[in-house]
Structure 1
Amino acid sequence: MTGHDDTSADADADPYTIREQLPSPETFAALREAAGMPPRSLEGLERGLPNSLYGVIAVHDPTDEIVGMGRIVGDGGAVYQISDMAVHPDHQRRGLGTRIMAALETYLEETAPPDAYVNLVADVDGFYERFGYEETRPASKGMYRRTE
């Protein structure tokens, strides 16, 4: 570092880092809430997060705050699901979702065998299509159920 302040060219530097790790259950829950996603129980997160195949977080370097996340769940061979893609509203529209998704896609390209089934539930029109995803209808339809 040359000793100058961040008002120079460094101010244009990318203030985010994508890291290969999962957030804590508490951070995971808070990020989902901030992004307007349905809640998950802390018990479920404590059990489920360690079973993830792969995960990434987006960190705002100036504050060291986790502001985005995404993960892959599945059996590690035949079926993979992209899950829990979220970026805090204060940090959206800065390419973080694209960077998170690109990291997840790199993992799949490097580890998934041929003909593996990769699925996701899309909540943003036009975002996942650029990564090669397409709707399953009319051949099939996505369904869900929540436990009580």
Structure 2
Amino acid sequence: MTADQPRAPGPAQLPEGYRLLPEPPAAQEYVRMRTVTGLTPVTPAQAEGPLVASWAWTTVRDEHGQLAAMGRVLGDGGWYFHIADVATDPGHQRRGLGRVVMEDLIARIDAEAPPHPYITLLGDPPGRALYRALGFVDSEPSLGMRLPR
């Protein structure tokens, strides 16, 4: 590391009263979280696929068992891993929960994947500072693209 490179803080600590779980949220929680955090809304029918077909899920629940944060990984388990749906309920933001979710997902990839996995994500503006702090860089010359429907 050179003097001009930012130093990433150490591993995030889960605040007291929160639990980190390696499981998906319930369908209605997933639909709600996407809506309240400004992600593209989905229907309950659209929620079913991500809940059962993702490579990994991490959720954070508060002391009442309510979903506070979530994130998941899509991938083939060998080389390609795409982090998606990282979101923190507005009532639980600014506590480091998004960082905890990201660090957990990355640690699981590192622990289970062969060396040098290809880890991607689409960085929406609210999360870009966090993603950069965790070491993510722009994928130039590649450009994220989508096919509108």
TM-score higher than 0.5 here? yes
- 2:142 is matched with 140
Which protein is bigger by CA-based radius of gyration? 1
Corresponding residue for 2:88?
A: 87
Deviation at 1:66, TM superposition (A): 0.7
CA distance in 2 between counterparts of 1:55 and 1:69 reads: 8
Partner residue in 1 for 2:110: 109
SS, match of residue 147 in structure 2 = coil
Is residue 131 of structure 1 aligned with residue 134 of structure 2?
yes
Corresponding position of 1:37: 39
Identity of aligned residues (%): 29
Using the TM superposition, give the Cα deviation of residue 105 of structure 1 relative to its aligned residue in structure 2, in angstroms: 1.1
Correspondences of 1:10-21 after superposition (within 5 Å): 14-21=16-23
Show the counterpart of 1:68.
Answer: 69
Q: Structure 2 CA distance, aligned partners of 1:91 and 1:57?
A: 13
Quote the offset at 1:14 in angstroms.
0.6
Q: TM-score, normalised by structure 2?
A: 0.84
CA-to-partner distance for each residue in 1:105-130, whole Å, 9 max, x for gaps? 11011011123211000112321112
CA distance in 1, matches of 2:105, 2:84: 10
Q: How far apart are the structure 2 equivalents of 1:65 and 1:48?
A: 20
One-letter amino acid of the structure 2 residue matched with residue 76 of structure 1: G
Q: Which amino acid aligns with 1:70?
A: G
Partner SS, residue 45 of structure 1 = helix
Higher mean C-alpha deviation, range 35-44 or range 15-24: 35-44
Q: Which has the higher contact order (CA 8 A, sep 6+)?
A: 2
Structure 1 residue identity aligned to 2:111: E
Distance 1:146 1:19 in 2: 33
SS class of match (1:32): helix
Offset of 1:74 from its aligned partner?
1.2
Query: Distance between the aligned counterparts of 1:105 and 1:44, measured in 2?
Result: 25
Output the CA distance in 2 between the equivalents of 1:67 and 1:132: 24
Q: Which amino acid aligns with 1:134?
A: V
Q: Structure 1, unaligned stretches of length 5 or more?
A: 1-12
Task: Sort the Cα spacing of 1:146 and 1:44 in 2 relative to 1 into closer, same or farther, 3 A.
Answer: farther
